[in-house]
A and B are shown apart, each in its own frame.
Chain A
C-alpha cells in the first residue's frame, strides 16, 4: 500500500446467525487481509450498534494484528482518540520500563511486563530472590544467592561483591551478621523510597540485632536467647527471663553500667567515661550504653513506637529524623558503632540484585 491510501473492510451482520458461524465468517474475511501491507488498521466505533459482531471483530483483530491496531472513538467528538498497544516494543523502551520498575522495588510489576517475552530462567529466578528478600523468606530462594553471585561475576563485578552475595546465603540459617546486613540494606532501601513507617521498623530492628550481637548473644529458632560462639566480647546471660526486645537489652546494659561503677569505684557518666581507665570490654559496653541512652537518639528510636508501626499515629518526615541525628541520616549515625563491632555492611544485597537483574535483562534484549 502506498502511504495515504486506505481500504475499507466490511463484514455484514446477520441477526439470526449463531456465534460459531459468525466467528468462522469473521475469520474467513480477516484471513484475506495481508496485514503486512498496511501501516495501520483502524476500527471505528461508528457503526457499533451490533454489539456482538463488533466485539468479535475487535477481539479477532487484536489477536491477529494488535501491533497495528487503532481504535477510533468517532461519535464523541471530532478528535481522533486512539489507544495503541504495540507488541514488539523497542528494546530500549522495554528496558527503560523494567529498569524503572526494578529500581523502585516493583519486582512483581516488572515480572508482569516481562511475562510476554521469553526471558530465560535466570530472570525469573532472580525475581524470585527479590521476592524472598522482601518477604524475608530467604530459605525459599537458597540456590539463588549463588546464582546472583555467578551472574555478577559474569558481568565482571568486583570480587568482593561476588563473595558478599555468596556469603549472604547464610541468611537462610539466620546467621546474626547476615541478618544485620539484611536489616541495614532494607532500611537503606526504604529510606530512599521515603517509606518512613517501614524504615523506622527496620531501623529499630537493626539496632536491636546489633545490640544483641554486641552483647555476645544470639537467638535460637525458638527465639530463645543464648550465648554466641566466637564473639569478641560478651556479657553473661541474665538470670531473670528477658525477651528479645531492645528495651530489655538496654536494661541489661544499664545494669552493667551500675556494676562497672561499683567495680571501678567511680561514677560513670557522659562527661567522664572517655577518660576513665576502663578495660577494653568495659569501655565497649559503656560506649553502647551511652550511645543508646542519648536523648536525641532515644527520641529517634521512639518514633517507631509513636507511629502506626507502634502505638501511635505520629507522622514522620525525613527532615525531622535527620535533625534528631544531628544533621546526618539515621543510618550514617549508626555507621561508626556498627564498624566498631565489625558488622557494618560493605555492600547492599538489594542494589547488587537490581544490578544483576538489569544486566540479565539487557542481555536478553540484545
Chain B
C-alpha cells in the first residue's frame, strides 16, 4: 500500500499524461496520420499501380498503337477559382459559408506515346495537367490552416479548439467513419455447418489493390478437402488445384501440408480420391470447370487467367516471378488445409473473430485511397475514349484536350457528399455532430462495425477482453447499434502500415527467417500467415 504522499504525486503525474492525450493534435490524430499518408504516398502508389492508359488505337492496320504514360502526381493546398478567373487560397470558414467544397487541385504528369509497331516509340505530348480536385481534410498537412497559431486561426474565422479531421463538401462538414474489418491475408479457421453436419473451414480474405477475395478451404463430412474462390462457381478439389499450381507428386503434397501422422493419414485419403495426376490434367479439369463448352485453348487460357487473377491475389508482389508465385499459392493452400485438419483434430481452436488481433481498421486515408483508385480508373476510361475519338477525327493528340477534370472531381466529391462509397457501403461519410464540443470529439473517434444492425450478433456486440485500453467499454449507443458502434479509448494509438514491405522482408531475412524451400533468394520472404 503506497503512502499517501506517493499516491498524490502519482495522481498529479497521471493527470498530466492524461491531459497530453487530450491535446488538440491527438484528438483526431488517426485521421490526420491516415490522410497525410494517403496524400504523401498513397496517391502516388495508386498511380504507379496503374502505370499506363492503353487505347485500342493500334489495333487496326496502318495505325500505330498509342498509350498514355502516367507520371508523378502532385497536390497543392485548397484554392478557389472565381468566375472572373482569379485564383485565391481557400480557407475552411469561407468554404462553409459559401457552400463550396474545400478541395485542392491535383496535377499529374501524363505523356502520350505513339509508336511501337512500324516506327519508333515517340512521345507525342508530355505535360503536367490538372486532372481534378481532391477534397482536403481540415487540419491535415495540405490544409491552408495547418500550423496556424491560435491568433491566426481566430483571424481567419476558425475556432482554435476545433479538432479538424473532417472534410467540407458543398459547405457541409463531413466525417469519414472509421470502420473495422477482419484482417486480410490471414488464415482464420472456424466451424461451420453444411447439410446439418459440422465441417471445418479455413478462410482467408486475400486483398490486393482494393480487390478483396474470399478464399475458402473446407473439409467436408467425408473428409475431402475442397477449395472455393471467386469467379469459380462451387468448389474445386483441393488436390486438383494444388496439382494445377505445380505440386505434382503425392509426397510433395503431403509434406507441404504437415508431418503429423494423423494429418498425413487424412491427406492420403484425399490423395486416393484424386481425379488428376499431373499438372496438365489438373489445368484441363479446371479449364472445363471455368469455361465449359468452349474450345480447349480458350479453356486453358481461362484457367490460367483465373488462377493468376482470382486465387489468392495477395501473393502477387513486385519482384517475384510468376512461377514462384504459383508455388507460393500452393504452399499457402497447404497451410490452409493444415489449419482445417488441426481444427478437426482439436489441436487448434477456432479463431475468435472478435479478437482485435484479427481486426483491422479502415481510416479516412484508406477510404480515400479506394475512392481515388476508382476515380482514376474512371478517368482513364474517359481519357481512352477521348483519345480514340480524337484520333478518329484526325485531330492532334495533346494531353490538355484529352483530360476532363470534372470526372475525377465528381467521383471524389460525390461519395463524400452522399456517404455511398465504392463497394456498395453507405453511411460512410456523416455530417459532423456539432451538438457540443464533446459531440464533435466523440464523432471523430467513432468506430463502426459493418455487421448488419438487424441481426443479433451476440458475440460481436459483447465487450471483448482485447478492447482494454483500445476501445471504450462504456461509450456505445443503446438500441440496435449497441456494441456495433464503438468509440476509441482515451489513450488509443493506431498503428500504420509499413511504408516499404520489401525492406521489412529483407530485414526479416537478415535476422534469420527462412524462406520457403524452393526459393533460392533469401531476400524474398513471401507473405506468411
Q: Are A and B physically bound partners? A: no
Report which B residues bind A (CB closer than 8 A).
Answer: none
Report which A residues bind B (CB closer than 8 A).
Answer: none
